[in-house]
Homo-oligomer: A and B are copies of this chain.
Amino acid sequence: MSFLGRSGGSSTGVNPERVEMAVQELDMITDVFNRLVSSCHAKCISTRYAEGDLNKGESVCIDRCVSKFFEVNKRVGEKLQSMGGNAPSGQSAFGSL
């Protein structure tokens, strides 16, 4: 992992909150990656499975699919932010506690 070579922080000892946030970011990245894999598989891969290689059409489709997915990700993120970022408390199940 590239980050092991860098020495950014200065203090010693683990700050639980900083680690917590990094773990949450990792989980988020994994979640997005898995949804991306699943969505683009549904959009681009024929389920006849006549061969094990990606054909030209599938490969091109995947690249465009990823690109569009990230654009959707950006648009949705902007939309949520424009709504004042009140979403975190707005539509969760805990709003009803």
Measured CB to CB, the nearest residue on chain B to A30 is: B93
Report B-chain residues with C-beta under 8 Å of the C-beta of A96.
33
Give Cα A26 to B92, complex, Å: 11
Task: From the candidates B26, B32, B92, name the one contacting A30 in the complex (CB within 8 A).
Answer: B92
Report B-chain residues with C-beta under 8 Å of the C-beta of A94.
26, 29-30
Q: Assembly of this chain: how many copies? A: 3
Please count how many residues in chain A sit with their CB below 8 Å of the partner chain's CB atoms.
Answer: 14
Chain A 61-97 near chain B by CB (<8 Å), digits 1 or 0: 0000000000000000000000000000000111011
15 residue pairs A–B, Cβ–Cβ below 8 Å: A1-B97, A2-B97, A3-B97, A26-B94, A29-B93, A29-B94, A29-B97, A30-B92, A30-B93, A30-B94, A32-B93, A33-B92, A33-B93, A33-B96, A34-B93
